[in-house]
Amino acid sequence: MTVQRSSVSRTTSLTGAAVFGALAAVIAFLIQIPYPVPGFTFLQLDLAEIVDVLAFLLFGPAVGLLTTLIHYLVLNFLPTASPIFGPLLKLFGVTSMLLGMWLGYGAYSRILKRTGGVITGYGIMLGTGAVLRAILLTPINYVFLIFVFAPNTAFSTSFLSFYFAGLAIYNVLQTVLATVVPFVVVKALRKAAPNLEVRTWVAKMKPSRPAQTQKTP
């Protein structure tokens, strides 16, 4: 009986990853929000990452990362402004963000779970996700700039500093956009459907309550 339940749970998770990943790619194709910052208008604020983070929070890190991979694969079959390299940068960005959130969850569960609330855990996950995304994407963006987007071009140190600082700020803002809505959705789920909420991965973020001892008269 236990094996059957695990199989069903695994099948449900894989199905959820496939559906969420495809939905994220379609949203990325249909909804494009320009990034209104001079010098960085080639960027876009991507609502599709909300779906990736929601899968991560509901089903767990493995399914969240699988959703991101499916998101990337489907993007390659849709027309984009930057074929091949655009979806690849998206894969690097979302994956580093989710890994950072995972690390943040680990830090929260080991250090602050008994004293901090769920909001504290979400805040730590958002912060670590944004920081790791901004840090890891800096050398990746450098490689893409030098060898893909502008090969054989000499850049000044001041331009590179401005360019990568601007990209880091964008990645932090994109992380906030991608995580706040899923946090709100999961928090609402906790209140509206407690029976369903206990099955989600983030249910583990609840502070452990000490058992109450019954007083004898």
**In the structure encoding, which two tokens stand for residue 44, read together?**
């876009």
What Å distances lie between residue 142 and 100, 174, 175, CA to CA? Answer: 21, 19, 20
Helices and strands in the chain, H and E counts: 7, 2
Dihedral angle at the C-alpha atoms of 89, 90, 92, 96, nearest 10 degrees? 140
In percent, the amount of the chain with pLDDT more than 90 equals 50
pTM for the model: 0.85
**Domains of the chain (ranges plus CATH)?**
2-205 (1.10.1760.20)
pLDDT, one tens digit per residue, over 24-57 is: 988 988 888 999 999 899 899 999 999 999 999 9
128-187 pLDDT, tens digit each: 999 999 999 999 999 999 999 999 899 999 999 999 999 999 999 999 999 999 998 888
Q: How confident is the model at residue 5, as a pLDDT?
A: 42
Q: Which amino acid is at 190?
A: R
**Of the candidate ranges 87-91, 134-138, 205-209, the one whose mean pLDDT is the lowest:** 205-209
User: Looking at the chain, how many residues does it have?
Assistant: 217
pLDDT tens by residue, 152-168: 899 999 999 999 999 99
Bridge partner residues of 45 (DSSP): 33
> Three-state SS for 44?
strand
Are the beta carbons of 71 and 94 closer than 8 angstroms?
yes
pLDDT of residue 83: 83
